[in-house]
Amino acid sequence: MSRTVLILGGGIAGLTAALQLAADGHSVTVIEQADHLGGRLDHAPPPLLLDAHTATWSLLKTLGKDAAARRLRHTPLEFLQSTGARIQFLHLPLPSPLNTLLGTTLFQGLSMRDRWHLLSFLERTWEQDPPLPNDLDARVADEWLASIGQSEHARHGVWNCLARLLLGAALTQVSAGLFMRTLRRCFLTGARATKLIVPPHGLDSFLLAPLKAQLDRLGVRVRLNTTAAQLQFSQDRVTHVELADRTRLTADWYIAALPYHRLTPLLPERVVTHYAYFQQLSRLSESPMVMMRLHLAQPVEQTQLVLLERNTFHWMIRHSDEELHEQAAVLWALSVGEPNLLPQSKEDLIRLTFDDMAAAFPATPAPRLIDAEVVRFPSAILTTKPGVQQYRPLSQSPFANFLISGAWTDTGWPANLESAILSGQRCAALVSAGAS
């Protein structure tokens, strides 16, 4: 049975839900307070695609982009350590667990002692003897890794870099449970899982443009520059959304695909105070991100991803320019959880980027800068400190026709692209199941 669905928020979570719902025959309207769809996608670097990102690959398949993406060359995961050493994590096309065992054995980023301790732990994990501790979600990843024999050098030079890349925070700030689950999914589940694909395009052109085109073909209605002011409830249902201009919008189902700090002000006080589901959102917090996009007069042959140990920026991606190809390159530099960078001037941030770029991608002379963009997000990534996981809500709210979507919801993933897409797919599935 076809239903009307109103989606608040035009980010990737809301658009994913809209796509699936419209394809299922529902009448969908998306309202977005900005003058464009996609939220932060129009500023985002290329996605890091691993086989474990099943929701992302599913969306790419729906958009007809998956086959071309899978044909792209594997992007090596490189670590630039504080000593200046550059080390690659090898992608070995071997059956599991041989690929993990051999890849870990050959990985020069860890000492022989660290590799031995890690392999011993992995062997015990596979055999479930003993099983993983039950308190990992309450422990800090750095402390837990030390407890399984990982040295300070390994924790700073390898695991901290991966924590920032995968979870958006330093190893001393993230949950051991989420870190271990994410690491296992991304790198320890088979040969295909370790193949990293980084398309040579920003998310805007790679994902957002085809997604918007498909939504338009399916007849999804989009209202830009439209601000929701209040959600109204009666008994166990949402009755309507009141906009800032006092207009009322009604639907059979409502999906809030908003950041959690924008959701709470839309709720009546009686709803927030009565339901723990909404009260616990106050326990969530976000950390900042600074992102640089440099357009360089420098040809590059292949896409590169480098994780930096003790630099201003935590990882860099360099790929060929989409239009100029052999004549220019695009460099993305990202730093997470460093609020001291937010007030820095554009000129200072460009200088710092060039300093780190010289270490990550040595070139003589330094490439000429064509243009640069600075993006500052004071609140960018959901913090994944111990204990936070229990406060991330499920998609189904206490109200029958009201669902919550977003990377920050409880998907089992860190608050990344995969989490956002998965949350949108789950909301669409709940609506379709409830409407059948």
> In whole numbers, what is the pLDDT of the chain averaged over residues?
89
- The rounded percent of the chain whose pLDDT value lies above 90 is 67
Please report the DSSP string for 110-138 in residue order: S-HHHHHHHHHHHHHHHHTSSPPPTTGGG
Residue 395 is predicted with a pLDDT of: 96
Residue 153 has pLDDT above 70, yes or no: yes
Report whether 84 contacts 359 (CB < 8 A).
yes
Among residues 136, 126, 130, which one has the least CA distance to residue 96?
A: 126
Among residues 279, 263, 196, 231, which one has the least CA distance to residue 11?
A: 263
Mean pLDDT of the region 406-410? 96
Residue 104 has pLDDT above 80, yes or no: no
How far is residue 73's CA from residue 358's CA, in Å, rounded to a whole number? 24
Mean pLDDT is highest, among 96-105, 109-118, 310-319, for 310-319
How far is residue 360's CA from residue 307's CA, in Å, rounded to a whole number? 9
Please report the DSSP string for 58-116 in residue order: HHHHHTT-HHHHHTSPP--EEEE-TTS-EEEEP-----TTHHHHHHHHH-TTS-HHHHH
pTM value? Answer: 0.93
Mean pLDDT of the region 7-29? 97
How far is residue 421's CA from residue 405's CA, in Å, rounded to a whole number? 9
Report whether 219 contacts 29 (CB < 8 A).
no
Tokens of 273: 């105070």
Q: CA of 98: how far to CAs of 92, 187, 362, in Å?
A: 9, 12, 34
Beta carbons within 10 angstroms of residue 124's beta carbon: 14
Question: Options 1.10.510.10, 3.50.50.60, 3.40.50.280, 3.30.70.1150; which CATH number does 4-68+202-284+385-435 get?
Answer: 3.50.50.60
Residue 94 has pLDDT above 50, yes or no: no
Residue 332 C-alpha from the chain's centroid = 16
Residue 130 is predicted with a pLDDT of: 53
* 38: helix, strand or coil: coil
Residue 36 is predicted with a pLDDT of: 93
Residue 296 is predicted with a pLDDT of: 94
Dihedral pair phi/psi, residue 73, rounded to 5°: -70, 145
Q: Which residue has the higher pLDDT, 250 or 93?
A: 250
How far is residue 358's CA from residue 132's CA, in Å, rounded to a whole number? 41
How far is residue 407's CA from residue 382's CA, in Å, rounded to a whole number? 8
Write the pLDDT tens digit of every residue in 414-432: 999 999 999 999 999 999 9
Dihedral pair phi/psi, residue 416, rounded to 5°: -120, -170
Helix H, strand E, coil C: the string for 169-223 is: CCHHHCEHHHHHHHHHHHHCCCCHHHCCECCCCCHHHHHHHHHHHHHHHCCCEEE
Residue 33 has pLDDT above 80, yes or no: yes
Domain covering 288-382: architecture = 2-Layer Sandwich (3.30)
State how beta strands 325-336 and 286-297 pair.
antiparallel
Per-residue burial over 354-375, b if 16 or more Cβ lie within 10 Å, else e, is bebbeebbeeeeebeeeebebb
Would you place residue 189 in the very low, low, confident or very high pLDDT band (cuts 50, 70, 90)? low
Residue 361 carries which side chain, given as an amino acid letter? F
How far is residue 390's CA from residue 29's CA, in Å, rounded to a whole number? 31
Residue 135 has pLDDT above 90, yes or no: no
Report whether 289 contacts 302 (CB < 8 A).
no
How far is residue 121's CA from residue 116's CA, in Å, rounded to a whole number? 9
Beta carbons within 10 angstroms of residue 269's beta carbon: 7
Among all chains, which residue has been given the structure tokens 């719902």? 21
Q: Which residue has the higher pLDDT, 84 or 254?
A: 254
Write the pLDDT tens digit of every residue in 292-328: 999 999 888 889 999 998 899 999 999 988 766 668 9
Please report the DSSP string for 312-335 in residue order: SSSEEEEEEETTTEEEEEEEEEEE
Write the pLDDT tens digit of every residue in 353-400: 999 999 999 877 889 999 999 999 999 999 999 999 999 999 999 999
**Residues carrying CATH 3.30.70, the chain:** 288-382
**End-to-end alpha-carbon separation of the chain, Å?**
6
Among all chains, which residue has been given the structure tokens 């699936």? 20
Would you place residue 436 in the very low, low, confident or very high pLDDT band (cuts 50, 70, 90)? low
Instruction: Report the range of poorest mean pLDDT among 93-107, 206-220, 230-244.
Output: 93-107
Instruction: Report the range of poorest mean pLDDT among 53-62, 98-107, 194-203.
Output: 98-107
Instruction: Tell the CATH topology of 89-190.
Output: Guanine Nucleotide Dissociation Inhibitor; domain 1 (1.10.405)
Instruction: Report the range of poorest mean pLDDT among 117-131, 222-236, 244-258.
Output: 117-131
**Residues carrying CATH 1.10.405, the chain:** 89-190
DSSP symbol at 286? E
Instruction: Report the range of poorest mean pLDDT among 181-195, 206-220, 234-248.
Output: 181-195
**Residues carrying CATH 3.50.50.60, the chain:** 4-68+202-284+385-435
Q: Which residue has the higher pLDDT, 435 or 318?
A: 318
- The rounded percent of the chain whose pLDDT value lies above 70 is 90
Please report the DSSP string for 339-354 in residue order: GGGTTS-HHHHHHHHH
